[in-house]
């Protein structure tokens, strides 16, 4: 169980600069917070979308979920953390109690 606010944890998962698909990030965060329901999954995915909207994550690739890895026939997004995202994360983790 992570002790960080969820969006901070999502940034932390991405902080190594590797590109990851949204379902990979969601899966990790679901384990961290025990949010295993569909509602928990969608909540976390929406938080990723919000982080991308304010340019903390940048989308690098997209594909259709043909195999139903996340949600069948939905669009899957691959993200990488941006410099702004890293800067806000370092600020967050430096001060988080």
Contact positions vs other proteins (CB under 8 A): 3-8, 11, 33, 35, 40, 47, 49-50, 52-56, 62-64, 75, 84, 88-89, 91-92, 94-97
Least distance from C-beta 33 to other proteins, angstroms? 8
Least distance from C-beta 3 to other proteins, angstroms? 6
Beta strand 75-81 with 20-21: parallel, antiparallel or unpaired? antiparallel
Q: Which residues of 54-65 are buried (b: 16+ CB within 10 A; e: fewer)?
A: eebbeeeeeeeb
Least distance from C-beta 48 to other proteins, angstroms? 11
Quick check: 71 and 65 in contact, CB under 8 A?
A: yes
């Amino acid at each position: 169980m992570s002790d960080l606010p969820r969006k901070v944890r999502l940034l932390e998962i991405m902080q190594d600069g590797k590109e990851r698909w949204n379902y990979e990030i969601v899966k990790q965060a679901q384990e961290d917070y025990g949010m295993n329901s569909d509602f928990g999954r969608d909540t976390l995915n929406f938080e990723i979308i919000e982080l991308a909207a304010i340019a903390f994550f940048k989308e690098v690739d997209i594909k259709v979920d043909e195999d139903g890895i996340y949600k069948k026939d939905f669009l899957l997004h691959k993200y990488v953390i941006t410099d702004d995202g890293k800067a806000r994360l370092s600020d967050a983790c430096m001060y988080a109690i």
